């Protein structure tokens, strides 16, 4: 067994891809973002509800795609629920660095999300890991309503 594959598909990731958490429709969502990765057909439907201060009160998703995209979305929703807008943006940056940078240490604030670091060895899979995060970024930007985002430029 090669270590890079084991590092990419850690048990936590396989578990989340088989049994995604916060999976379902968020009935009273303020924003719904549909995220597409047209290069591989992965998709995610994200629902977000904000608290009085603009923080993430609740977040759920549905979708289908590879283990990386679905596990990343599942782990993300667990991490972001209850976080302030600033914390979400900070985590988005830190997560992007985690899956793309070769050298720096993963910030401790990422917690469980650090299991995704194996993605950095597979550049073609970075978009899979980022899909849910791009959707939540769009949700924050929008604040209310619906939108569709794509990992590929139009």
Partner 1 sequence: MIVSVTLEKSSFKKAPHRFEAGTPNIAGAIGLAAAIDYIERIGRAAIFEHDSQLAHYAVERFKELPGMHVLGPTEERGALVGFVMDAAHPHDLTTFADQYGLALRGGHHCNQPLMRRFGVSGTSRSSFYFYNTMEEIDRMIEILRAAVRFFS
3-state helix, strand, coil in the chain (%, to 5): 50, 20, 30
Pick the piece of the chain touching partner 1 (CB under 8 A) from 49-57, 61-69, 99-107, 138-146. 61-69
Instruction: Decide: is 23 part of the binding site for partner 1 (CB under 8 A).
Output: no
- DSSP letters spanning 115-142: GGGGGGG-GGGHHHHHHHHHHHHHHHHH
User: Site mask, partner 1, residues 70-109, x = CB under 8 A?
Assistant: ----------------------------------------
- Going through 20-89 in order, the beta strands assigned E by DSSP cover 31-37, 42-50, 56-64
Q: Among residues 51, 64, 112, 146, which is the contact residue for partner 1, using CB under 8 A?
A: 64
Of residues 114 and 125, the one with the C-beta less far from partner 1: 125
Nearest approach in angstroms of CB 96 to partner 1 is: 20
**First-to-last C-alpha distance (Å) of the chain:** 39
């Amino acid at each position: 067994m090669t270590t890079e594959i084991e590092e990419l598909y850690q048990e936590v990731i396989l578990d989340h891809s088989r049994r995604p958490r916060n999976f379902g429709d968020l009935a009273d969502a303020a924003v719904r973002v549909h995220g597409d990765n047209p290069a591989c057909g992965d998709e995610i439907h994200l629902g977000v509800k904000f608290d009085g201060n603009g923080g993430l009160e609740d977040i759920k998703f549905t979708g289908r795609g590879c283990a990386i995209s679905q596990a990343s979305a599942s782990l993300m929703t667990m991490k972001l629920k209850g976080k302030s807008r600033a914390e979400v943006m900070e985590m988005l940056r830190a997560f992007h660095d985690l899956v793309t940078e070769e050298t720096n240490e993963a910030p401790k604030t990422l917690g469980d999300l650090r299991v995704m670091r194996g993605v950095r060895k597979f550049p073609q899979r970075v978009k899979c890991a980022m899909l849910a995060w791009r959707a939540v970024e769009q949700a924050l930007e929008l604040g209310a309503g619906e939108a569709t985002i794509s990992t590929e430029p139009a």
